[in-house]
Amino acid sequence: MKMARSSFPAVVCALLLAALAGGAAAQQGVGSIITRSVFDNMLKQRNNAACPAKGFYTYEAFIAAARAFPSFGNTGDLATRKRELAAFFGQTSHETTGMNGGTRGAADQFQWGYCFKEEQSKTDPPFYGRGPIQLTHRYNYEAAGKALGKNLVGNPNLVSTDPVVAFKTAIWFWMTAQAPKPSSHAVITGRWKPTAADRAAGRSPAGYGVITNIINGGVECGMGPNDSGASRIGFYKRYCDMLRVGYGSNIDCYRQRKFG
């Protein structure tokens, strides 16, 4: 069908305005849940002089990175969006925590997320853990770099020197399925449908524990309770409480078999 010439600009303008409004609303959603004050209260010790990452993880960098992933923290109802953000910060806080163990009982233990920006025991140089999710291994740097338009294989230190890139790699990992694993985003928002094999392996119903399985199931799942699991859960519960949202079910992976 041929469009009337006079209507073309109006239609294009309307579509552009709708797209812009949708993008602005999506980003307002993340920023309205994780405000600057919430971010600062969640990560109380990130700028402590004892933290090697002091001054690196900023609120502005987080919001800029989130802008590249419109569905992140903006899928489902308000409770689902809050739970996803609590889960994201729970997992990444554990990965970067300035305190060891999950059962030490220190009152402020779960205020020490985002203390590190690099893995302390470098397991796979030069592709050792960096950034909030502690991106590790060449294949992850290659895939993340391709998705973000950055040469992370040639310059992996970008993940520990550019805070926006650091947050983007973490959100990319969160949003991206790597078969046979679903994405953490799909799990926490209820978009993932467990198979019969998943159910038999204890990876059902979907919950925070399945995300732990995605991130480090080969080392942490199918055993416990243990300090690592308690640490991940402790951060998550603290953030859920701050955001006034329930934890959901299946929050540990102690009785889950790893994917694959």
Q: Which residues are catalytic?
A: 95
Q: Which two tokens stand for residue 13?
A: 């303008």
CA distances from 97 to 38, 73, 106, 209, 251 (A): 18, 22, 13, 19, 19
Tokens 């991940």, residue located: 232
Please answer whether residues 156 and 162 qualify as being in contact, where contact means their C-beta atoms are separated by less than 8 angstroms.
no
Closest by CA to 232, choosing from 248, 244, 220, 242, is: 220
Q: Which two tokens stand for residue 199?
A: 């159910």
Closest by CA to 223, choosing from 251, 255, 260, is: 255
Residues comprising the chain, all counted: 260
d(CA 142, CA 97): 26
